Structure formats: C-alpha cells, structure tokens
C-alpha cells in the first residue's frame, strides 16, 4: 500500500521532469508577449493565438508588433520538412526492407562483411563529413535542393533500416514464403502477400525512427540549404525580430513541429506492439 | 501408374552430402512414408520433390513430367509443414482459399471448394477465425485443408503430427488415414516416428545417412530388414543381434559364450553365401524363456509391459538381448532362451546385409 503510493509519487515526479519542457513550450506559444517573460512564471494566463496567426501569415499585420520583417517563412519550410523527411523515410524503409529480406533469405556472397560495411557508415559522427559533403554537393549542384537532403537522409538512415529490418525478417519463419511458393505464387508475390504483412510491425518501428531522425536533423539542413529547400529546424532557430528573439513564435513553431511525429507514432503504435504473429508457428 | 519418380537424386550442402543417389517410384494413390533418424536426408528429399531445394544431381518426375528445375508453384503439389505455416494475418477461410486464388479460380468456386474441404475436416465453424485463435489440432487440420483444396498431384507432409500431444497425434493419425482412403491422394510423408510409419504407410522408405536403406511394406521392413541398420531402427526395442561363428556343415554355430546353436535352414544359408562370421537377428518377441532353451543367459532386468514382460538377458559378458515373454512368475538368475528360427534373419557380419535364401 505504502509502496504503491511511493511508486505513484515517483511516477508523477518523473513525468513532471520529462513533460515540463514540453509544457513550457506549448504554454509559451499561447502566452501574451509580457507573460512570456513574467517572473515568477505565470501558470494562469490569458491565452492568445497571435503567435500561430503570425507564424502562418494569417494575421501579418500583427507581426510587425513583434519586430518581424516581411512574411513568416515557416509555412514553406514546414512543408519542405514534410516532403524531405517523408520521402527519405519511405525510401530508406523500402530499400532497407528489400535488402534485409535478401540478406535474411538468400546466400549473399560476403554477407557479414557487407552488413558490417553498412553498419560502419554509422560509426563516424555525421558532423565530421559536413565539409566534404558541402564540397561534393556544391560540385554536383545539390546545394539547397530537396533531392539533395532526401538522398542524404536516406543514406544516413539506410544502415539503421537494413539492420533493424534484418532482425525482423530473421524472425519471420521461412515456411511462410515456402508455403506461398508451393501454393502457386512467385517469390515476389509471396513477399508482398505473406512476408510484408508479417513485417508490418518492424516496418512501423523502423519508419518511426527514420522519420524522427530525418525530421529533427539540424546540422546538414543548416549547411546544405539556404532558401528553397530549407527545412523547419534551422528555420525555427532563426526566428528573430528586429527587437530580439521572437520567443512566442518560436514556441508556436516548435509546437507545430512536434505534432506530425506525435500523430504518426500514434497511428502506427498498433503495429509497434508486436504480437500480431504470436503463437502461429510452432517452434 | 507411376506418380512420382526420383532418379539418382543427390543433394550436397557444402561438404555435407545430405542425400545420396536416391531412386524411387511412387505410385498413384500410394501412401509412402520416409522414415529415418534426424539428419538422414528424408526432409531434404521431400523438399527437393517440392522444389524448395535444388538437387545437386539427379532428376524428379511428377506425373510423367520432368520437374527437376521447375519452381514449386508449377509442380502442382501440396506441402504440409511441421509447424503448419498458416498465414497469421489471414482467417482460416482465407488460408484455405490462398492456393485457389493463385490459380485465379472464380470467387464462387473458391467458396464452394473451401466449404467442401472444411466440411470433410470439420472446420466449418472455425472459418472466420485467425490461426492464433485455434488449437494446434485445428491448425493442423487447416494446414491439411489448404493442401487438399487444390487437388494436387502429390501431398508432401513433413512430420505433420510432431507438434501435437500424444492424444491428438493418435486422433490425427486416424484422421489422416481416413482422408487418404477417402480422397485417395498420393502422399509422401516424412517422419522419424516408426509407429506413424507402421500404422499409415503402404510402403516405408527407410533412410540413413542420406541413402535409402530399404523400401518395403511395414511388414517387410519389420520382418525382413535388408540390413542391420533397418533391423535395429525398426521396432521398439529393435532387433537383437547375436554374433555367431559358423563351425562347418552339420556342426552348427558357436555363440560368444561357447554355446552351440544348430538350425538346418540357417546352416544352409550360410553355406550358400560362403560366410563364416554372421549375426543372428531376432526380435524380442521371437525369443522366449524356456526350461531347456538353446541359449543360456542371466536375467539382468525386467520391465513389465502390462500383459507381457520385457526381459534383459545377458548371454555373454556385455551382450544383452531383450526378450518379450508372457511369463508372469518371478524370474531371476539363470535362464535359457528358445529361438523361433522361422522369424529370424541372418546378416553377413562384414557387409551388414541380410543373407537371402532361395525364397527371399
């Protein structure tokens, strides 16, 4: 009984510890300008949507009050984030799933060396290759292009995707596709009709991680883009007015930026919980 | 009519020769059981027939057509896996219908045929469930249903009953036999369980170390094993082996313990084969404890089997034979054994093969 209460209190404390920054950002995004800086901080305040309205250029006339010059750049850059993170995630998960299937099911010459090579691409900190990438991208004309960032994020996520999916593929018994092959299907059909549905939970988990990595990436987005293909993270950090940092709008931007990943994770959580295949193959 | 023919089929995995030179004909409507210890190549042979493994050498014919290099989908066979391999994301109905969908059978026909199969197997009330919701016995039936629904040229089954508990296994064994009689399907069945083999097979193919040891009816492999391996592997316990030294015509055989055995038929056989050293093979039920038997020995243990006892009798230092006999009174110490010669086999000690007389 006492232990239960202690446990409850501990959980609440841990939750406060982790959720406070998020509460802070969300609350700030709804606070009026003076309340943002109030000391002690106000937990009860009159809310406002003004930061969101200026962020999305719905009420541009308000923006000037916060020292904003010209239109807010957030909407196009948010869209860039969606396009770049989305496409790179789809590509790395798709390629990862196919290669993981091949590694798992066929005898690949030098399989272990290849897998290690794929993993080794993750071993150096990305920041080390920042300058070389910049030089190469400039030479190839990929600076500030969507395709440039998509390729980059796809490449960085691919090793992770191959390794994670290989684990999931190895767990799917071969008998499933063998049964499908005998039932009259080609290997390709067997893959799509039988293996892919089994791999869904793995694909969902892999996609969540790839999406988060690509969505939150800051460094390469900062040095490899400037205008056209700039994504939200470097853009939010740069929200400044003539009279200093526009904290309200930054908070609104961060809140909007958090939402897609939360929503995506929410929708795939059914697949994240494994157990879809539990108990069907006797081992 | 011949339904499946294997010609000098071999399979090598790296340096390991899993299957060696297997030649076999399976006839229409026959129930063939591949029997052998694990690793004997029986499953690999089955998988080659299915097209799941490519043979290293040899040819496979199904219904007269050479299929050695065809993919499994084009062999018109059905395979029942040891672990059932039911598709977990599909209902029972969808599982059974899956092979028909590949053949682009009409929706109406699929419904009719799945219902038909479900009726034979007693699965009608389970069609809407997913495999995870079924008992293992029902899963097995669904796996059978999926195999039956397409009316294949051959049924291939890889230890389909090994996942069931003893009681269900017995039921399914009877069920399989009934199905075989009902739909008269040509079946190749792999097992390491000799009771399954004995009770279901028309012919048993005994395999060991990648090679066929013997092909024959359950009675043949039991009573007339081709070699020492088959003799020992079939039967529980297996056949007793008693080494004999032939002393010359009319002088009988000498046992390890010095006793002399005489039997005219056996002596003639040995003379005919020009062998001196041989092994007498005799099943436990063809030995009996007798007041004045031919082999002297000492009882070392007794296992009651209900209405019979299984005796372990030492007939020479370290040489134990098993005897199945009715005797109920307490037996211990020195006994003698009577040999029922008409049911014995003589093996050539050098080759391990059974010596055949004029009449097999």
Which residue of A lies nearest to B83 if distances are taken between CA atoms? Answer: A282
Predicted pLDDT of residue B75: 92
Shortest CA gap B70–chain A (Å): 11
Q: Are residues A129 and A212 in the same domain?
A: yes
What average pLDDT does the segment A55-79 reach? 81
What mean pLDDT is reported for chain A?
87
| Backbone dihedral angles phi then psi of residue A109, each to the nearest 5 degrees | -60, 130
What's the predicted TM-score (pTM) here? Answer: 0.81
Is residue B331 predicted with pLDDT exceeding 70?
A: no
Predicted pLDDT of residue A47: 84
Predicted pLDDT of residue B314: 92
| Backbone dihedral angles phi then psi of residue B339, each to the nearest 5 degrees | -100, 130
Instruction: Report CA-CA distances (Å) from A264 to A94, A236, A256, A269.
Output: 17, 21, 14, 9
CB contact under 8 A, A197 and B89: yes
Q: Are residues A231 and A168 in the same domain?
A: yes
In tens, the pLDDT along B108-165 reads: 999 999 999 999 888 999 999 999 999 888 998 999 999 999 889 999 999 988 888 8
CATH 3.40.50.300 matches B2-230: yes
Number of structural domains found in chain A:
2
What average pLDDT does the segment B11-32 reach? 94
Is A140 inside any structural domain?
yes
A179 touches chain B (CB under 8 A): yes
In tens, the pLDDT along B188-224 reads: 999 999 989 999 999 999 999 999 999 999 999 999 9
In tens, the pLDDT along B55-76 reads: 999 999 999 999 999 999 999 9
Q: How far apart are CA A98 and CA B74, in angstroms?
A: 25
Q: Are residues A93 and A218 in the same domain?
A: yes
In tens, the pLDDT along A83-139 reads: 999 999 999 999 999 999 999 998 888 889 999 998 888 888 888 888 999 999 999
Q: Are residues A54 and A81 in the same domain?
A: no
Nearest to A183 among B89, B98, B132 (CB): B98
Predicted pLDDT of residue B358: 58
Nearest to A281 among B72, B83, B89 (CB): B83
What average pLDDT does the segment B26-43 reach? 94
Q: How confident is the model at residue A282 (pLDDT cuts 50, 70, 90)?
A: very low
CB contact under 8 A, B87 and A282: no
Is residue B99 predicted with pLDDT exceeding 90?
A: yes
Predicted pLDDT of residue B184: 85
Q: How confident is the model at residue B328 (pLDDT cuts 50, 70, 90)?
A: low
Using a CB-CB cut-off of 8 Å, the residues of chain B touching A278 are 132
CATH 1.10.3720.10 matches B239-348: no
Is residue A78 predicted with pLDDT exceeding 90?
A: yes
Q: Report CA Rg, chain A.
A: 24
Q: How confident is the model at residue B32 (pLDDT cuts 50, 70, 90)?
A: very high
Q: Are residues A92 and A114 in the same domain?
A: yes
Predicted pLDDT of residue B321: 93
Of A174 and A282, which is predicted with more confidence? A174
Q: How confident is the model at residue A283 (pLDDT cuts 50, 70, 90)?
A: very low
Using a CB-CB cut-off of 8 Å, the residues of chain A touching B50 are 178, 182
Cβ atoms of residues B297 and B242 within 8 Å: no
Domain that holds residue A63: 22-69+239-255
Which residue of B lies nearest to A279 if distances are taken between CA atoms? Answer: B132
Q: Are residues A147 and A29 in the same domain?
A: no
Is A121 inside any structural domain?
yes
Using a CB-CB cut-off of 8 Å, the residues of chain A touching B146 are 179, 183
In tens, the pLDDT along B270-317 reads: 999 988 999 999 999 999 988 788 899 999 988 888 888 899 999 988
Q: Are residues A112 and A215 in the same domain?
A: yes
Is residue A277 predicted with pLDDT exceeding 50?
A: no
Return the closest-CA partner of residue B188 out of B78, B275, B113: B78
Using a CB-CB cut-off of 8 Å, the residues of chain B touching A276 are 88-89
Is residue A275 predicted with pLDDT exceeding 50?
A: no
Best interface-test mutation with B: which of A173, A180, A182, A196 has the largest number of B CBs within 10 A?
A182
ipTM given for this complex: 0.83
Q: Are residues A136 and A250 in the same domain?
A: no
Predicted pLDDT of residue A240: 73
Q: How confident is the model at residue B21 (pLDDT cuts 50, 70, 90)?
A: very high
Q: How confident is the model at residue B345 (pLDDT cuts 50, 70, 90)?
A: very high
Is A195 inside any structural domain?
yes
Q: Are residues A26 and A85 in the same domain?
A: no
Q: Cβ–Cβ contacts within 10 Å for residue A127, how many?
A: 10
Instruction: Report CA-CA distances (Å) from A106 to A101, A102, A185, A190, B318.
Output: 8, 5, 18, 15, 51
Cβ atoms of residues B255 and B336 within 8 Å: no
Q: Are residues A170 and A49 in the same domain?
A: no
Is residue A276 predicted with pLDDT exceeding 70?
A: no
Widest Cα–Cα separation across chain A: 72
What mean pLDDT is reported for chain B?
91
Q: Are residues A183 and A246 in the same domain?
A: no
Nearest to B136 among A181, A278, A282 (CB): A282
CB contact under 8 A, B73 and A181: yes
Q: How far apart are CA A20 and CA A17, in angstroms?
A: 6
Q: Are residues A128 and A139 in the same domain?
A: yes
CB contact under 8 A, A182 and B77: yes
Shortest CA gap B160–chain A (Å): 11
Q: How far apart are CA A176 and CA B336, in angstroms?
A: 58
Q: How far apart are CA B160 and CA B118, in angstroms?
A: 18
CB contact under 8 A, B83 and A194: no
Where are the CATH 3.40.50.300 domain residues in chain B? 2-230
Is A8 inside any structural domain?
no
Handedness of CA A27, A32, A33, A38 (dihedral sign): negative
Where are the CATH 2.40.50.140 domain residues in chain B? 239-348
What average pLDDT does the segment B332-353 reach? 90
Is residue B359 predicted with pLDDT exceeding 90?
A: no
In tens, the pLDDT along A140-153 reads: 999 999 999 999 99
CB contact under 8 A, B71 and A280: no
Predicted pLDDT of residue B330: 63
Q: What is the CATH number of the domain that holds A175?
A: 1.10.3720.10
A107 touches chain B (CB under 8 A): no
Is A158 inside any structural domain?
yes
């Amino acid at each position: 009984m006492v232990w239960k209460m202690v446990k409850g209190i501990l959980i609440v404390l841990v939750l406060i510890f982790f959720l406070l920054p998020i509460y802070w950002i969300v609350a700030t995004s709804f606070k009026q300008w003076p309340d943002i800086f109030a000391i002690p901080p106000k937990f009860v305040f009159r809310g406002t949507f003004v930061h969101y309205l200026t962020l999305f250029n719905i009420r541009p006339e308000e923006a000037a009050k916060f020292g904003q010059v010209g239109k807010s750049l957030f909407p196009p850059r948010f869209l860039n984030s969606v396009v770049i993170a989305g496409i790179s995630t789809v590509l790395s998960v798709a390629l990862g799933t196919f290669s993981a299937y091949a590694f798992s099911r066929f005898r690949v010459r030098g399989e272990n060396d290849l897998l290690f090579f794929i993993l080794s691409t993750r071993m150096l900190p990305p920041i080390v290759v920042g300058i070389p990438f910049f030089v190469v991208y400039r030479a190839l004309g990929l600076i500030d292009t969507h395709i440039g960032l998509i390729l980059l994020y796809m490449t960085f996520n691919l090793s992770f995707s191959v390794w994670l999916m290989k684990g999931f593929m190895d767990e799917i018994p071969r008998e499933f596709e063998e049964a499908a092959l005998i039932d009259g299907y080609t290997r390709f059909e067997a893959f799509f009709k039988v293996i892919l549905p089994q791999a869904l939970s793995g694909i969902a988990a892999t996609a969540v991680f790839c999406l988060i990595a690509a969505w939150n990436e800051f460094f390469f987005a900062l040095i490899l883009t400037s205008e056209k293909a700039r994504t939200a993270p470097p853009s939010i950090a740069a929200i400044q007015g003539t009279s200093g940092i526009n904290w309200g709008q930054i908070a609104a931007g961060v809140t909007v930026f958090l939402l897609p990943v939360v929503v995506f994770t929410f929708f795939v959580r059914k697949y994240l919980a494994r157990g879809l295949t539990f108990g069907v193959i006797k081992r | 009519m011949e339904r499946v023919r294997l010609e000098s089929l071999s399979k090598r995995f790296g340096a390991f020769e899993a299957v060696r030179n297997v030649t076999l004909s399976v006839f229409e409507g026959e129930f063939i059981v591949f029997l052998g210890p694990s690793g004997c190549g029986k499953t690999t042979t089955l998988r080659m027939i299915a097209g799941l493994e490519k043979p290293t050498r040899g040819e496979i014919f199904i219904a007269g057509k050479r299929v050695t290099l065809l993919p499994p989908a084009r062999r018109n066979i059905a395979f029942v896996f040891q672990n059932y391999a039911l598709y977990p994301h599909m209902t029972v109905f969808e599982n059974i219908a899956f092979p028909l969908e590949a053949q682009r059978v009409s929706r109406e026909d699929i419904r009719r045929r799945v219902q038909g199969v479900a009726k034979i197997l007693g699965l009608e009330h389970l069609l809407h469930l997913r495999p995870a919701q079924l008992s293992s016995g029902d899963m097995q039936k669904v796996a059978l249903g999926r195999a039956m629904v397409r009316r294949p040229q051959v049924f291939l089954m890889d230890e389909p009953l090994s996942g069931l508990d003893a009681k269900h296994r017995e039921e399914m064994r009877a069920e399989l036999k009934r199905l075989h009689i009902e739909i008269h399907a040509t079946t190749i069945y792999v097992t390491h369980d000799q009771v399954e083999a004995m009770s279901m097979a028309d012919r048993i193919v005994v395999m060991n170390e990648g090679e066929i040891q013997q092909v024959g009816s359950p009675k043949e492999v039991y009573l007339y094993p081709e070699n020492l391996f088959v003799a020992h592997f079939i039967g529980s316990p297996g056949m007793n082996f008693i080494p004999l030294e032939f002393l010359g015509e009319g002088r009988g055989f000498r046992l390890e313990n010095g006793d002399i055995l005489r039997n005219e038929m056996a002596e003639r056989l040995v003379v005919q084969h020009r062998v001196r050293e041989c092994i007498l093979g005799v099943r436990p039920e063809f030995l009996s404890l007798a007041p004045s038997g031919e082999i002297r020995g000492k009882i070392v243990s007794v296992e009651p089997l209900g209405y019979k006892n299984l005796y372990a009798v030492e007939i020479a230092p370290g040489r134990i034979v098993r005897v199945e006999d009715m005797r109920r009174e307490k037996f211990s110490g020195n006994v003698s054994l009577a040999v029922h010669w008409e049911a014995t086999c003589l093996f050539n000690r050098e080759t391990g093969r059974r010596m055949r007389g004029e009449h097999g």
